[in-house]
Structure 1
Amino acid sequence: MKTVFVAGATGYLGRHLCAEYKRRGWTVLALVRDRKRAGDLGCDRMVEAEATVPATLSGSLESVDLVVSALGITRQADGLSYRDVDYQANLNLLQEALRARVPHFAYAHVLNADKMRGVPLVDAKAEFVSELQRAKIASTVIAPSGYFSDMGDFLDMARAGRVWLFGDGQYRINPIDGADLAAAIADAVDAKRDWLDVGGPDSYTHNELAELAFSALGRPAKITRLPDWIRKAAIAILPRVTPRKVHGPVQFFLTAFGMDMTGEKLGTRHLADFFAEKVSRKTND
C-alpha cells in the first residue's frame, strides 16, 4: 500500500485530497499544526508539525511515496506572509522530501500565474514552483482556475440584492469543485503529468455567474457593471491603505477577474448544483 503525505490538509482542497486518496486505497498522512483543532480529516494519521519551522518536519516523510501540497495562505491571517508560507514552508517541505528520497511531489498552484506577476500571493507560489521544477524529484504542478467555494461570493452578493462586476462581464471561468480537483490531481500524478491547467466541466462569463446566482435564489438578476479602471485602481491603492489580510486576497481576486480563467474541463460536479445546495442549506438553517 502506498503512502501519501498531504500538506495543507485542514484546508478546503486538503480535506478533499485526504478523502480522495483514502478512497483510492492509499495510506494517508495529514500535516496539521494542531491535531486537536484539525477535526476529522479521514486520514490514517495526523502529523503535527509547523512547515514554517524546518526542524519540526524532520523524519516526517520517511517511507512516503508522494507529497501533495495544498499549503498556502488564502483568507486566514496569523501574522505570516505569503513568502513565509506559500514559498518558504513549501520549500522546507520539498527539502525534507529530498532528504527522505520521496519519489514524487505534487503542488496546487494558480492558473495564469505568469499573467499575475506582482501579486504577492502568486509571486510566492510561482517562486516555489521554480524551486520544485529545478529539484531532483518527479513533480506535478496543478493550476486550478478557481474553486466552487470562491464562487460563493457571487451568491452572497446576489443575496444582498445586487452583483457588482467590472467591465463588460465577458471574461470566462470554469471553476471546479474540491472533490473533482482532488481526483484530477490524483489522476495527473498517476499519469506522471508535469503540469495541468484544470477547471470544472462548465464555463461561465462573469455575467452568467451573476445570473446563475440570482436564479438559484429565485430572484430577478440585478447586475451593475463598473468601469474596469476602478478594478485596476483598487489593485494599486489597496496595498497602501489596508493590511495584508485585507488587500492580499482581494488583490489576487481582482487581478484574476481581469482575464479568462479557464483550464482543461474535468470533473462531474456542477456549479448550479453547488449554488442550489448552499441556498437550500441557508433556507433550512
Structure 2
Amino acid sequence: MKRVLIAGATGYLGRHLCAEYQQQGWHVTALVRKKSAAKDLCADVLLVAEATWPESLNGTMTGIDLVVSALGITRQADGVGYWDVDYQANVNLLKEAERSGVAHFAYIHVLNADRMMHVPLVAAKSAFVRELEQSPLQSTVIAPTGYFSDMADFLTMAKAGRVWLFGQGTHQINPIHGADLASATFAAIAWGDRWLDVGGPETFAQEDIAHLCFRVLDSPARITHLPDMLRRFVLRVLPCLMPRKIAGPAQFFLTASAMNMTAPAFGSRRLSAHFRSITNQSEGRL
C-alpha cells in the first residue's frame, strides 16, 4: 500500500485531500497542529507536529512515498506570518522529505501568482515554489482559481442585504469545490504533471455570483458597484491602517478581484448547490 502524508490536513482542502487519498486506497498520515482539530478526519494516522519547528518533523516521513502540502495561513495569527508558514514551514517539510527519501512532493499554490508578487501571502508561496522546483524530488504544483469556501463571502454579503463589488463586476472566475480539487490533485500527481492550473466546471463574472446568491436566498438582488479607484486606494493604505491579520487576506482578495481567475475546468460540483447547502445548514434544514 502506498503511503501519503498530507500537510495542512485540517484545512478546507486538506480534509478533502485526506478523504480522496483514503478512497483511492492509500495509507494516509495527516499532519496536524492540534489533535482536537482533526475530528472526523479521514486518516489512518494523526501526526501531531509543528511544521514551523523543523526538529518536530524528524523521522515523521520514514516510509512515506508522497507528501502533499496544503499548508498555509489566510489570517496571520499566533505570532506567525506568511513567511513563517507558507514559506518556511513548507521548506521544513521539503527538507525532511529529501532526508527521508520521499519520492514525490506536491504543493497547493495559487493561480496567477506571477501577477501578485507584491502581495505578501503570494510572495511567500511563490518563494517556496522556487525552492521546490530546485529540489531533487519529483514535484507537482497545483494552482487553483479559488475555492467554493472563498465564494461564501459573497453569500455572507447577500444575507446582510447587499453585495458590494469593485468596478463593473465583469472579472471572471471558475471556482472549484474542495472535493473536485482533491480529485484533480490526485490525478495530476498520478500522471506525473509538474504544474496544473485548475478551476471548476462553471465560469462566472463577479456580478453573476452576486445574482446567484440572491436567487439562492430568494431575495431581491441588491448590488452596489464601487469605483475601482477606491479599491486601489484601500490597497495602498491597508498595511498602514490595519493589523496584518486583516490586511494580509484583504490585500490578496482586493488584488485577485481585479483580474480574471479562470483555468481549465475540472469536476462536476456546482456553486449553486454549495450555496444552498450553506443556507440550509444555517437555517437548520437537512
TM exceeding 0.5: yes
- Counterparts of 1:1-285 in structure 2, within 5 Å, are 1-75=1-75, 77-284=77-284
SS at match of 2:141: strand
> How far apart, CA to CA, are the structure 2 residues paired with 1:24 and 1:170?
39
> How far apart, CA to CA, are the structure 2 residues paired with 1:68 and 1:37?
19
> How far apart, CA to CA, are the structure 1 residues paired with 2:226 and 2:204?
19
> How far apart, CA to CA, are the structure 2 residues paired with 1:5 and 1:85?
17
- Residue 75 of structure 1 and its aligned partner are, at CA, apart by 3.1
Q: Alignment RMSD, CA only?
A: 0.9
> How far apart, CA to CA, are the structure 2 residues paired with 1:97 and 1:37?
24
SS at match of 1:284: coil
The Cα offsets for residues 135-192 of structure 1, whole Å up to 9 and x where unpaired, read as 1010000001000011001001111111000111100000000000001000000010
- Residue 42 of structure 1 and its aligned partner are, at CA, apart by 1.4
SS at match of 2:74: coil
Aligned residues, how many?
285
- Residue 115 of structure 1 and its aligned partner are, at CA, apart by 0.4
TM-score by length of 2: 0.98
Which amino acid letter does the alignment assign opposite residue 114 of structure 2? D
2:10 and 2:37 in contact (8 A); partners too: no
- Residue 277 of structure 1 and its aligned partner are, at CA, apart by 1.2
- Residue 279 of structure 1 and its aligned partner are, at CA, apart by 1.3
Moved over 2 A (4+): none
> How far apart, CA to CA, are the structure 2 residues paired with 1:280 and 1:123?
37
The Cα offsets for residues 118-138 of structure 1, whole Å up to 9 and x where unpaired, read as 100000000000000011010
> How far apart, CA to CA, are the structure 2 residues paired with 1:126 and 1:44?
31
Which one is further off, 38-47 or 158-167? 38-47
- Residue 111 of structure 1 and its aligned partner are, at CA, apart by 0.4
> How far apart, CA to CA, are the structure 2 residues paired with 1:172 and 1:112?
13
> How far apart, CA to CA, are the structure 2 residues paired with 1:84 and 1:141?
20
> How far apart, CA to CA, are the structure 1 residues paired with 2:84 and 2:281?
36
> How far apart, CA to CA, are the structure 1 residues paired with 2:118 and 2:211?
32
> How far apart, CA to CA, are the structure 2 residues paired with 1:34 and 1:273?
31
Which amino acid letter does the alignment assign opposite residue 102 of structure 1? V
> How far apart, CA to CA, are the structure 2 residues paired with 1:160 and 1:33?
34
- Residue 40 of structure 1 and its aligned partner are, at CA, apart by 2.4
Structure 2 unaligned runs (5+)? Answer: none
> How far apart, CA to CA, are the structure 1 residues paired with 2:36 and 2:203?
39
> How far apart, CA to CA, are the structure 2 residues paired with 1:211 and 1:143?
27
> How far apart, CA to CA, are the structure 1 residues paired with 2:232 and 2:68?
34
TM-score by length of 1: 0.98
- Residue 76 of structure 1 and its aligned partner are, at CA, apart by 5.7
> How far apart, CA to CA, are the structure 2 residues paired with 1:30 and 1:16?
12
> How far apart, CA to CA, are the structure 1 residues paired with 2:279 and 2:39?
25
> How far apart, CA to CA, are the structure 2 residues paired with 1:140 and 1:233?
37
SS at match of 1:212: helix
SS at match of 1:264: coil
2:163 and 2:223 in contact (8 A); partners too: yes
